[in-house]
Structure 1
Amino acid sequence: MCRVQKVVQSLGWAWALAGCIGVGAHAAERLPTEADYFAQVPVVLTASRLDQPLNEAPGAMTVIDRDTIRQSGARTVAEVLRLVPGYVLGGWNGANPLASYHVALDDFGGRNLVLIDGRSVYASSYLGDTHYGMMGVLLPDIERIEVLRGANSAAYGANAMFGVVNIITRHSADTVGGSAALSVGDNGIRDTYARLGVGNEASNVRVSVGEQRDRGYLNAFDDKRLGQVHVRADLQPSLADDVMISLGVSELLSGDGYSATHKSNPFHQLRSRTSYAQVDWRRQLDDRNELQVSVNYMEDRRWEPLALTVNVPPYPAILLDVDYGTWGQRNNVEVQQRTVWSPTWRTLVGVGYKDERARSDTMYYGQGWVSMGETRLFGTAEWRVNPAWLLNAGLFVGDHTLAGTYTAPRLMVNWLATPHQTWRMGVTESMRAPSLSEYKSDVRVYLPGMPYFTRPYAASGSVQPETLISQEIGYWGRWPDAQVTLDARLYRERMRDVVVDDDGDGTALLPNQLGKTRDFVNRHALTLVGMEYQLRWKVAPRMELWLNQNFSRMKWDDPVYEDRAERRPPRHATTVALFQQLPHNWQISVLHERVGSMTLRAKSNWMAATHRTDVRLARAFRWDGYKAEAAFTVQSVEGDQLFFDPRRNYRRGRHGFLTLQLEM
């Protein structure tokens, strides 16, 4: 209770501001409809939790709708994010695709907030993972993806440091009927999907199932089999109430490891399962107040048995069976109220609580369940000073049981110079709370029949949150006659207290311990400056061209890290996408991507500049009364290229696959 009181006091000015705003005259505001989200200037929700036209959002945003996702030929959400400037595709093997904004500081996406229908997919059990959760959605179920390019802890709290990806699935009323799809191709590609929806004016339900298979990278042990089941129900018990209920499970079985005889990571099978349940209730209290309550639960489990060979002189080599499996759970509840005080003032205030816990006999030796919780308050105020100036202020205050109390403010000013030209500038402070592993891991592996054990990690718990100050100047412009839209962002991002694992001071060695023990510490800082833009041009009624570019420079404060080129993003990246409707219901898409030299780990993993071209040719038709589409996609037309880990000759291969989709 004391923690809640401290948080309330910290946010007192925001609540007071909201109260003062109420002096203005009341005015009704129309709720956004589906047409708003797909208008020429779409309405977005992700930037501040308020519905806003894209040109009034307090940050640079990219919106990708379901037709673009389908036409891109992407098989994963990570591949779809290539259409967002600043995102780089990675993954330590082909079964673990990951897309990171600007700089990939880890292999798990822990600094990139990923939401599905507003529910965070941040996994509690391992190392703050989001990429497994990003795989926990079927692409045909997605309505659109809203991506805020930049920090946004002011709206979402810890971990919204390098980008916010909000995946919004289709309303079940829009998927009444049935649909099925099958993709077959080389490299073991075999994807299946089926959907059935039923309903009426008051309630609708959709059930979706799917499976995805492939053989991953060339020269890697990473065959993948991903199965999923999802259920979504949308209910309208009254004209003022909307309820969404969703639940699902996804399970991944994949190969992992570097070689059959590798000392610490031999070939083995990795199995992970993510399950969730979510209820969102929205009530329109009156013509100016809306209340929303969200409750969700997520469980992530990971099974990773390894057979390790350990040498303990003078004893002979010992074969050791170890299971690095983990089990994590997260409960989350949130209440927020949106209020229109006057034609010039709007606010949103909310409160929430989450509990995260994990257990693992190997990762958290002897601790049973380890846990952490967070109480949070947040608020956003939008003030239209006059028709040309819009001020957006946000503040998130969290009280974390391990990280302590923190604040994340944002101040953004939008100058609507003309109805089609907007300049924005502002500053945001964000943070990332260390994961349970970084706070409490104690990894111990005992040797059978011997008084020895290895203890590679023992967290002292002294690690502090990472912080990021982001400054930006942005521009959004639209030329209706030419059908051109441009969104540009100039940024400077300063990150402090970067968490690394280190044995410099180390945790004290225990008796009979083999090797050194590593701890998680705040060791470094970095600065990232750059410019990115996205241009969309409707060249003709049936042709659209996208051009994304990002130019950046990153520098570590630590000269050792700078010399090692640790986690060095590309200095330039370009994506060009062409979507062309052809006569007789044919359609062709071409995506070309060029990424400068970079490393997703250290200098020893340096990758030369790469380029990739994907081509998709499709035709829509009627088949026995059903809507149908047949498509042939070739990814990486140029052929095989070194990718992610050149030392091990990992290669991203050229793949072709045929897709047939039927819909009632």
Structure 2
Amino acid sequence: MGLVVTLAGVAGVGAHAAERSVTEEDYFANVPVVLTASRLDQPLNEAPGAITVIDRQTIRQSGARTLPEVLRLVPGYLAGGWNGANPLAAYHIPMDDYGTRNLVLIDGRSVYSTSYLGDTHRGMMDVMLEDIERIEVLRGANSAAYGANAMFGVINIITRHSADTTGGEVLLTSGDNGIRDRRVRIGWGDEAASFRLSVGEQRDAGYLNAYDDKRLGQVNARADFKPTLADDVMVAMGVSYLDAGEGDSDNENPPHKIRTRDSYVQGEWRRQLGFDDELKVSASFMEDAKEDFATAPNDRATRATYPIPGAYFTMDYGGLGRRANVEVQRKLGLSDSVRAVMGVGFKDERARSAPLYNTSEWVSFRETRAFGTLEWRLHPQWLLNGGLFVGNHSRAGTYTAPRLMANWLLSPEHTFRFGVTESIRAPNLYEYKADTRIYTDVGGLYVHEYAATGGVQPEKLLSKELGYVGRFKDLHLTLDARLYHERMQDVIRTKLYPHPETNPINGRRSRDYVNLTGLSLTGLEYQLRWKPFSATEVWFNQSVGHVKWDDPGLEQHKERRPPKHTTMIALFQRLPANVQLGVIHERIGSMTWRAREDWMPFEHRTDVRLAYPFRIGANKAEVALTVQSVNGPATFVRVQENFQLARKSFLTLRMEM
């Protein structure tokens, strides 16, 4: 939704944060300070939602090459993608192939695509894992703080302050399955003015039996300034290029190449007006461009609806999207027991694509918004948090998203949380204005594929939850659990309907985007972190859940069915000679990312990473061997096409100067 709310702000780490004297120890203690749930910095046990924090050391120890692989460490999250070039993560249930119901923030900048279906998986490629300070993942709805896209989770990525990355870094990775990665980073400056430039490239061959080779290029720059003791300024910009294979054996999506370019510029100014009083102004501009064009022979004799021998049809899903966003926010302490945050914002979102919208003109919408959160400590053991987001959308109209949550601090080590949240997802431009046609080289129009009437309404989610955060000091153990029931209404889907331009050649009708059905989600998830020794850390996640579609047909066909249970266990161990061992084992129950024909059986996956740090003169270095899916290839996502997740081994050399 285009928010620019830098939730660790310019700081990235506590040493650079002016607000409330937050320190690095606060963030990485057993009860870390988090900023994602309500836009207020607060201890994890006082946040109005369940949050998982992953720091940069854990990201490195996981052996992950992509952000969705990192998110496997979060209870309830599923990592997948319709092919290996388009990895994505879904919370609870894979509602689509694009992650449109996740809000993904990079230093407060929302990264979903404007031009097509609001996908977030491409935006996740805008950041390099090595530049991340930490990731805060709010598990659950949070439109009360962030508006129309924060329906199934908020993934808040906070990059490192440029003053913490002075010097240079070189990273080289090589392995099987076509893995060839390289990265260079240079940083300079001091606490008054500091700068970072990161350049990287990733290559791999994707899934087995799929046409999805990937080459991803990334350039990111960040500058931080401190003109006065009370002011902090951050400016960031970047561009990412993806060149990847797409398609399968089905002639309706023939193998071809896609090329995308995502670019952005953002800025933020913060002024500390008092001990508990801060003003923040932020702005961003983003552009996403995509080339996705293919031709295929219209010669499949098995379909009587293709009566033109020798003809070719063309498909084109390319386009250009732009989003401009500005926001003003004020955080302040109203008394010793009451804190508040309030703000207003505006965004303009537009797309241009003759193939998708049947016009060379821009299609667009605008949104103005106001939001606020009030935190009231009415008793040393009781904390109330109320939030409200009001948006005025030029197509969806006015909507509200409230939240009321109570935290009962039974003791400093044990907290119970309960409350209710309402969230929405506003339809994207394609769902409002799609007008997509496919043509043959003879005979003209082949099919009017999508013809949206624009009558679709926002999706709604009512979420009720009971949470627990416990810290057992003597055992060096923490436990975070969430029990939830969520009711989703007006789920947006496509539906065939009689249309005046129905193709007389094949009799196929156009599809419209409509609010077709609803569903209910009930489940329990928990995360246990145990540090029995200073050199040993164990993570243990489990989630169990059940989904029920209101539509009997979808229920019978097991449409978009998540696993009933998932388990993840991770061991991070420091061995003699400071050798680092990381092992992640994941067990996922049978599920489908799509419909029942792509039903995935029960799968398990084990990743192992072994790293040895050393020095070359005064420079730090590390060599690491990572093996993903040690247990071998596994059927993945597209079962009918026999797509498989390959076993991958790769060696990484890293040097810091």
Q: TM-score normalised to the size of structure 2?
A: 0.95
1:445 aligns with 2:435: no
Within-5 A mapping of 1:63-74: 63-74=53-64
1:541 aligns with 2:534: yes
8 Å CA contact retained: 2:311, 2:442: no
Partner of 2:500: 508
1:279 aligns with 2:271: no
Partner of 1:100: 90
8 Å CA contact retained: 2:315, 2:439: no
Partner of 2:574: 581
Q: What SS does the corresponding residue of 1:80 show, helix, strand or coil?
A: helix
Partner of 2:12: none
Query: Could you give the per-residue CA deviations for residues 220-279 of structure 1, whole angstroms, max 9, x where no partner exists?
Result: 0000000000000000011010001000000110001012xx321000001111000000
1:250 aligns with 2:240: yes
Q: Equivalents in 2 of 1:137, 1:220: separation in Å?
A: 26
Deviates more, 1:438-447 or 1:341-350: 438-447
Q: Equivalents in 2 of 1:544, 1:447: separation in Å?
A: 59
Aligned counterpart for 2:472 among listed residues 476, 479, 487: 479
Q: Equivalents in 2 of 1:31, 1:508: separation in Å?
A: 65
Within-5 A mapping of 1:643-658: 643-658=636-651
Partner of 2:291: 303
Q: Equivalents in 2 of 1:646, 1:288: separation in Å?
A: 54
Aligned counterpart for 2:164 among listed residues 169, 174, 181: 174
Q: Equivalents in 1 of 2:76, 2:382: separation in Å?
A: 28
Q: What SS does the corresponding residue of 2:122 show, helix, strand or coil?
A: helix
- AA in 2 matched with 1:86: G
1:37 Cα deviation after fit: 1.5
- AA in 2 matched with 1:110: T
1:482 Cα deviation after fit: 1.2
Partner of 1:115: 105
Q: What SS does the corresponding residue of 1:481 show, helix, strand or coil?
A: helix
Deviates more, 1:320-329 or 1:141-150: 320-329
Partner of 1:194: 184
Query: Could you give the per-residue CA deviations for residues 287-310 of structure 1, whole angstroms, max 9, x where no partner exists?
Result: 332000110011000001101223
Q: Equivalents in 1 of 2:306, 2:538: separation in Å?
A: 64
- AA in 2 matched with 1:133: G
Partner of 1:390: 383
* CA separation of 1:123 and 1:654: change in aligned 2, threshold 3 A: same
- AA in 1 matched with 2:34: V
Q: Equivalents in 2 of 1:266, 1:188: separation in Å?
A: 22
8 Å CA contact retained: 1:506, 1:519: no
Q: What SS does the corresponding residue of 2:420 show, helix, strand or coil?
A: strand
1:293 aligns with 2:281: yes
Within-5 A mapping of 1:226-265: 226-259=216-249, 262-265=250-253
List runs of 5+ in structure 2 lacking aligned partners: 1-17, 300-304
Q: What SS does the corresponding residue of 1:317 show, helix, strand or coil?
A: coil
Within-5 A mapping of 1:484-503: 484-503=477-496
8 Å CA contact retained: 2:186, 2:196: yes
1:518 aligns with 2:511: yes
Partner of 1:380: 373
Partner of 2:14: none
Partner of 2:423: 430
Q: Equivalents in 1 of 2:469, 2:444: separation in Å?
A: 65
- AA in 2 matched with 1:415: W
Q: Equivalents in 1 of 2:306, 2:82: separation in Å?
A: 33
Structure 1 vs Structure 2 CA RMSD: 1.4
Partner of 1:15: none
1:400 aligns with 2:390: no
Partner of 1:531: 524
- AA in 1 matched with 2:260: S
Query: Could you give the per-residue CA deviations for residues 50-92 of structure 1, whole angstroms, max 9, x where no partner exists?
Result: 0000010000000000000000000000000000000011100
- AA in 1 matched with 2:341: L
Aligned counterpart for 1:52 among listed residues 42, 45, 64: 42
Within-5 A mapping of 1:341-356: 341-356=334-349
Q: Equivalents in 2 of 1:479, 1:378: separation in Å?
A: 36
Deviates more, 1:302-311 or 1:390-399: 302-311
8 Å CA contact retained: 2:493, 2:514: yes
- AA in 1 matched with 2:205: R
* CA separation of 1:100 and 1:451: change in aligned 2, threshold 3 A: closer
8 Å CA contact retained: 2:259, 2:292: yes
Q: What SS does the corresponding residue of 1:36 show, helix, strand or coil?
A: helix
Question: How many residue pairs are counted as aligned between the two chains?
Answer: 634
- AA in 1 matched with 2:618: G
Aligned counterpart for 2:561 among listed residues 562, 568, 580: 568
Aligned counterpart for 2:601 among listed residues 601, 608, 615: 608
Partner of 1:211: 201
Partner of 1:6: none
Q: Equivalents in 1 of 2:485, 2:452: separation in Å?
A: 32
Q: What SS does the corresponding residue of 2:556 show, helix, strand or coil?
A: helix
1:29 Cα deviation after fit: 7.5
- AA in 1 matched with 2:617: D
Q: What SS does the corresponding residue of 2:600 show, helix, strand or coil?
A: coil
Q: Equivalents in 2 of 1:60, 1:379: separation in Å?
A: 20
Q: Equivalents in 2 of 1:288, 1:256: separation in Å?
A: 51
List runs of 5+ in structure 1 lacking aligned partners: 1-27
Query: Could you give the per-residue CA deviations for residues 596-631 of structure 1, whole angstroms, max 9, x where no partner exists?
Result: 000000111000010000000111111132101110
Partner of 2:350: 357
Q: Equivalents in 1 of 2:25, 2:532: separation in Å?
A: 23
Calculate percent identity across the aligned residue pairs. 61
Q: Equivalents in 1 of 2:447, 2:280: separation in Å?
A: 49
1:324 Cα deviation after fit: 2.0
Query: Could you give the per-residue CA deviations for residues 439-491 of structure 1, whole angstroms, max 9, x where no partner exists?
Result: 00100234445453421100000111000000000000001121100000000
8 Å CA contact retained: 1:528, 1:555: yes
Q: TM-score normalised to the size of structure 1?
A: 0.94
Q: Equivalents in 2 of 1:313, 1:511: separation in Å?
A: 12
Query: Could you give the per-residue CA deviations for residues 89-123 of structure 1, whole angstroms, max 9, x where no partner exists?
Result: 11000011111000011000000100000100011
